[in-house]
Amino acid sequence: GRPFVGFASLPHQIHRKSVKKGFEFTLMVVGESGLGKSTLISSLFLTDLYSGRTLPSASEMIQRTVGISKKTVDIEEKGVRLKLTLVDTPGFGDALDCSESYYPILNYINQQFEQYRIDEVGMHRTQIKDQRVHCCLYFISPYGHGLKPIDVTFMKELQGKVNIVPVIAKADCLTQAELQRKKETIRREIEHYQIKIFQFSDCDSDDDIEWTKQAHDMKNSIPFAVVGSNMVVRIHMRNVRVRAYPWGMVEVENPAHSDLIHLRTMLVRTHMQDLKEKTDEQLYEQYRISRMDTRRP
């Protein structure tokens, strides 16, 4: 069956009315092609698609992604409904000149803003579907020395439009020491290039020590090191998603092997509401205002 995702704890973040209605949350993946974006999407949330089988058949193997594609899954936990939309993008790097490959992605994000804007001024304001992109996982190659120029360009183009959460792809290719060094390098570069990534809010009170510690851990995990896999094996009566190598297995959800659990916790348990609010109050608001300006003579 499906793994326990944990969003049922969301009522702490929001008021009861929206619990009844259910949540809508859209996550997008962006980055160079071949970094495991499509694989991670299924590793993060679609676990049950492959459970019970040890090897995916050829047709189930992830295909090269050609257009922007979206998949919506309805998940229900403890009476809380979540409509999760996963937006997969083709990734750049296949074309000789990648400098403009962010256009279709920006375009997609803007289209969702525009649709929301139209619905908002329309007749049925209470039934608006929120298809806006609330979070964008930006995949950074584990092979480079840090950010590539195109990563900088891309993130700077996206930063005013969507909450960017950077991740180091295929973290199983790095040793612990390499990973720590890479994280520090990337954090420094993000600061140096003034790239605005999603900021984890600090807890506003000191009464919740657990939360403060969690937020602190999250900040220090940025960019999250992720490992994805489409292979599920049964270990000690549990279905475990792994990458099998000649020398052994990497468990994608094992905190010693990757930050996948941190990432999922952050997305659905601790920061979903934050991501949604920031999208609505800052990013969408900016878009809305810019649309008003264009109609002035």
Contacts with ligand GDP by CB under 6 A lie at: 33-39, 62, 65, 91, 170, 172-173, 227-228, 243
Out of ligand GDP, Mg ion, none, which partner does residue 227 contact, by CB within 5 to 8 A per kind? ligand GDP
**3-state per-residue secondary structure call for the chain:** CCCCCCHHHHHHCCCHHHHHHCEEEEEEEEEECCCCHHHHHHHHHCHHHCCCCCCCCHHHCCCCCCCCEEEEEEEEECCEEEEEEEEECCCECCCCCCCCCCHHHHHHHHHHHHHHHHHHHCCCHHHCCCCCCCEEEEEECCCCCCCCHHHHHHHHHHCCCCCEEEEECCHHHCCHHHHHHHHHHHHHHHHHCCCCCCCCCCCCCCCCHHHHHHHHHHHHHCCEECCCCCEEEEECCEEEEEEEECCEEEECCCCCCCCHHHHHHHHHHHCHHHHHHHHHHHHHHHHHHHHHHHCCC
Closest to Mg ion by CB, 1 or 67: 67
Q: Could you say which of Mg ion, ligand GDP, none residue 141 binds, taking C-beta under 5 to 8 angstroms by partner kind?
A: none
Minimum CB separation of residue 82 from Mg ion in Å reads: 23
Of 82 and 86, CB closest to ligand GDP? 86
- Of residues 173 and 235, the one with the C-beta less far from ligand GDP: 173
11 binds, among Mg ion, ligand GDP, none (CB under 5 to 8 A by kind): none
Q: Among ligand GDP, Mg ion, none, what does residue 118 contact (CB within 5–8 Å per kind)?
A: none
Considering the complex, what minimum distance in angstroms separates the CB of residue 38 from ligand GDP? 3
Complex with ligand GDP: residue 30 or 266, whichever CB lies closer: 30
Question: Encoding tokens for residue 55?
Answer: 């090897």
Smallest separation (angstroms) from ligand GDP to the CB of 88: 7
Q: What is Dmax (Cα atoms) for the chain?
A: 68
* Distance of closest approach, residue 38 Cβ to Mg ion, in angstroms: 3
* 115 contact choice in ligand GDP, Mg ion, none (CB below 5 to 8 Å, kind-dependent): none
Residues between 15 and 74 that touch Mg ion (CB under 5 A): 37-38, 65
Smallest gap from residue 288 Cβ to ligand GDP (A): 32
Which residue's Cβ has the minimum distance to Mg ion? 65
Please name every residue paired with 26 in a beta bridge, in sequence order, or none if there are none.
85
Nearer Cβ to Mg ion, position 65 or 221? 65
Binding site for Mg ion (CB under 5 A): 37-38, 65
